[in-house]
Chains A and B, each alone.
Chain A
């Protein structure tokens, strides 16, 4: 019979040489199975005298422990190797492309309207609305533009067909009719803005038959032109994100305000580019003025008791200046390439606390 030492050495060598989990398992059965060589050794204990049995038994158990430990150690190594092999076989090409950015885009116009709204919200304004197809009264007459007024000719108004009474609805040429609707429906104090679509029958490189304006109206008992100036300067600085923005007020004329003012902001032009901020030139960006007493009276207010200011700005113009968009007509073309470039991503929602400067 083989010595226990030889047996142990032989088994340990076999375990060391096993290269698959199956081969290892076969060794385990050969050694420790019911009929395994170590089990056979243990069976022979019964026929031994007690003294010999004790010492031999201890020797056999020591061998069994050694083999068993070796088997378990080897099993761990083989399992690890098998997993490594499996994972290696699962490798993929990680350079295959995946969609990297959200594809949705906000239009620069809706973005700009949200920015304007956020700024005026902080000054206590709320948003008012009115219809796009307006009556002649709201678009002109109530705003102190009687039918024969020369200002009407400058509006290039779109008319719809006259109804049975001969009245011709118009596509509103300005957002100012919302002033009238708001004053008719509310008592002072009033602080509203009204962004929306406006229409004029003009189509060339710098005019579109449809464009957007934002109207503003503040009515109270002691609102004067200094508030108009402060409000609009604060707006311009916040909107363009330029603290030292020069803002200039110039006398002008609008039938529904008196005194009236155009507002210019400072800019500089260099190499065909335009930079908003302190510079040697001015850019006209909005019209404004104290609400005309006739307009207040048309809305049922007493011009001796209330006064206030109104303003109107072109939203496309603001967006073009702020975001460097060169061509007005491209706003309405829905060109995917343009939208990818000038549009805004979904996470980028303007708010005063996160900033509104693009």
Chain B
């Protein structure tokens, strides 16, 4: 919402300075977005008079002007056709920055003639799009004074942000009323008395909407004998200052009234209306109309339109039609002041994707008394500015009933805000804001909102009005009461997993990523996603049109991007949401990691060690143990999804629950994301891990075996297909109950082995149970281990 300082003072009698007003506006809820002081911005431009203008000797379209600056006469070469002797215009001397051209004027020669400055057009000053010629200032402008003042463009423009509930502040008068309530002046009375017409309007209203609430009231007046000339300078200057382009007096009046008192109007050319009735009704499916913006809109039955005998030519509350609109040749006008259902206007505008200043105000709620209350005020303005004669008012609809009074306990202000506002001040604030206040019952006032505040529904709204105007600076500052001196943890044990995982992975040189929850649908499909229910109806780009099924693709994409930027040996992880369906239980958080190349900064001690499936496995197991999973009891299968290398990947299972996948990324997937070199990844479904029972902080008692453990090494030759897992289980089973741990320290598959065989070297730790083992007993245990490996894995001791 834009207005000017002088415009505000039309409505507000105030002794406060502009700076004081700018300071209080945000404190009553009207946030100041911009202040533009053209006088300051254009201070370098002065009034000058052309004392002579001669044809340039070397250029047909240029003139050589002698210009009186007020202190001297200088020569300026000018190309404007309207440069002429005696013209008062705007001068920029060398060194002045020209905002409309973004250049700084220098003294120079143009085709051999000295030019010591520039005579400027309005567009060169950046104040309008008018570049037909240099500005023509009034004849009485004083040479050498500030041009902005002489041109009448020195009014200060203020732009404030209006929250969606404050439709009443979309007119200058509403802003003035708020300031008055805050104690920054008094609201000037305006003459809102009725205006008798002098003839009967030949056009009348008929409201035939399906729902009577769609148009509770509409008024109109006919004006005849209009001279549709340009509007007066003061009106043009104000409209220009707030960024509106002056057109002609009729259009300018409708705009001016909209910004002045927040009341949108629609002006018909009465001679273009077919028949003698304007009918307000639902549009019929298939109807269309061309609006004032010259675009054609297809209408449907839910939209309200205004029609003459030729059909609809106004989309109610949104935009008028081209066919019956006023033009410069209009002499007879019919002026509409209506109330339409804000919801209907909003839905229609949204459906047609059509925004307008009128729609903006209608959907935020207008003064429901406006069609009658403002009719006289507006009629007098039209008569005065156009010389027209006004008809009697024509009306349809009973209007919007006054809101019922709201029961309001003044004590509620203290209990909701903690502030003691004197009751007299509460009453004063409400009354200046236009509320009716009946304090007969001192404990429960009856408060009636004014017709321009459809946003007020209950006592919380009234408390807000009082505290907003009284000032938030009066709010006390209280700490929340503490239930206990030492606060309890704010995260649950389940939520704490995220913290643990993050720390465990960062400790393993992983760098944390935060990537978008949506991705390209084709990529989602590669990773098992692509459910149509998870497609965005209005994606921001085709690359971000599907909710992600996993985080791997995001990390692979990031890896590819970093490689292209010259970073290598990468490790990224992310903990975040993935989406397998719309229901809340099909959206869950997972933890993913990707390593590329060496996975960490190259170290000359092991320069060629590239990441492998086992790094991914180690990361996954490490992460699982970080959240308290005892990883020894998990099963490993090789059933990972097909975006992993089919022979170098696995799944970690707890019973039937898949806790995670790990492996080398399938080469074709890696290539798809432009990832070169070794590349592995893991996915951890940590929310599937069951919550352990709360056993308290104490750990079970440590029972150390006093008998010394001993270790024995074995090398078994087995088929290549025998898994390490199977071999270790066989060793444990054979050496029961003495084998306390089994560790593989070498796997050899080289050319010294028979085809299809491998040698696996194992250290077995043997823990005596009740007494020290004698040699014969140790031999016996070893034999049982060897026999178990032979039976379960077909392995033999390597000779």
Contacts and interface: CB of A to CB of B under 8 A. Distances in A.
A252 B509 contact: no
Contacts of B579: 132-133
Interface of B: 26-29, 31, 163-166, 342-343, 346-347, 350, 363-364, 415-419, 458, 460-461, 463-464, 467-468, 472-473, 475-480, 482-484, 487-492, 495, 499, 502-503, 505-518, 532-541, 544, 547, 555, 558, 561-562, 565, 567, 570-572, 575-577, 579, 582, 584, 587, 600-601, 603-605
B540 A230 contact: no
A326 B782 CA distance: 67
Contact of B490 (A193, A224, A252): A193
22 contacts: A98-B603, A99-B601, A102-B509, A105-B506, A120-B490, A123-B487, A132-B517, A149-B164, A150-B346, A209-B516, A225-B467, A226-B478, A251-B29, A251-B472, A253-B164, A253-B165, A258-B463, A336-B567, A336-B570, A339-B513, A340-B511, A345-B506
A154 interface: yes
A126 B417 CA distance: 24
Contacts of A169: 582
B517 A197 contact: yes
Contact of A104 (B506, B562, B604): B506
Nearest to A262: B31
Contact of A225 (B418, B480, B487, B507): B418
A251 B582 contact: no
A209 B536 CA distance: 12
A293 to B, nearest CB: 5
Contacts of B29: 250-253
A206 B483 CA distance: 40
A249 to B, nearest CB: 4
Nearest to B494: A129
A251 B27 contact: yes
A114 interface: yes
Contact of A334 (B535, B540, B562): B562
A346 B503 contact: yes
Contact of B491 (A117, A290, A346): A117
B585 to A, nearest CB: 9
B464 A258 contact: yes
B28 A150 contact: no
Contact of B416 (A120, A218, A225): A225
A325 interface: no
Contact of A168 (B467, B489, B509, B537): B537
Contacts of A202: 540
Most buried by A among B31, B508, B539, B582: B582
Nearest to B498: A110
Contact of B506 (A106, A210, A223, A225): A106
A258 to B, nearest CB: 4
Contacts of A307: 415-416
B600 to A, nearest CB: 6
A163 interface: yes
Interface residues of A, number: 93
Contact of B31 (A168, A250, A343): A250
Interface string A171-195: 1000000000000000000010100
Contact of B477 (A102, A153, A230): A230
A160 B163 contact: no
A343 B571 CA distance: 14
Given A124-B487, A159-B537, A107 B600 contact: no
A260 interface: yes
A193 B480 CA distance: 14
Interface string A113-129: 01001101111111101
A204 to B, nearest CB: 11
A233 interface: yes
A158 interface: yes
B600 A103 contact: yes
A150 B600 CA distance: 51
A229 B582 CA distance: 38
B567 A126 contact: no
Closest 4 interchain pairs by CB? A226-B418, A253-B163, A251-B29, A121-B490
A293 B106 CA distance: 65
A259 B516 CA distance: 34
A121 B347 contact: no
Nearest to B546: A160
A226 B572 CA distance: 44
B27 A259 contact: no
Contacts of B535: 160-161
A249 B472 contact: yes
Interface in A235-279: 249-253, 255, 258-262
Interface in A205-226: 209-210, 218, 222-226
Contacts of A333: 558, 561
A259 B562 contact: no
Interface string A2-30: 00000000000000000000000000000
B242 to A, nearest CB: 21
Given A209-B540, A335-B561, A343-B512, 4 more contacts: A133-B582, A150-B346, A233-B477, A234-B479
Nearest to A228: B475
A91 B567 CA distance: 34
A133 B587 contact: yes
B533 A163 contact: yes
A195 to B, nearest CB: 11
A234 B477 CA distance: 10
Contacts of B600: 99, 103
Contacts of B350: 153
A86 interface: no
A292 B416 CA distance: 11
Nearest to A125: B490
Contacts of B31: 250, 252, 262
A160 B536 contact: yes
B480 A106 contact: no
A356 interface: no
B503 A161 contact: no
A231 interface: yes
A210 B571 CA distance: 23
B28 A251 contact: yes
Contacts of A255: 164
B416 to A, nearest CB: 6
Contacts of B601: 99, 103
B480 A218 contact: yes
Given A227-B478, A349-B503, A260 B538 contact: no
Contacts of A234: 479
Contacts of A171: 517, 536
Nearest to A132: B577
Interface string A138-162: 0000000000111101100011111
A201 interface: yes
Contacts of A154: 164
Contacts of B507: 102, 104, 346
A130 B576 CA distance: 13
Contacts of B491: 117, 121, 126-127
Contacts of B363: 148, 150
Contacts of A331: 514
B511 A201 contact: no
A63 interface: no
A95 to B, nearest CB: 12
Contacts of A120: 490
A221 to B, nearest CB: 10
B582 A160 contact: yes
Contact of B516 (A96, A210, A224, A231): A210
A307 B463 CA distance: 14
Given A160-B534, A229-B477, A332-B515, A99 B603 contact: yes
A174 B45 CA distance: 49
B166 A253 contact: yes
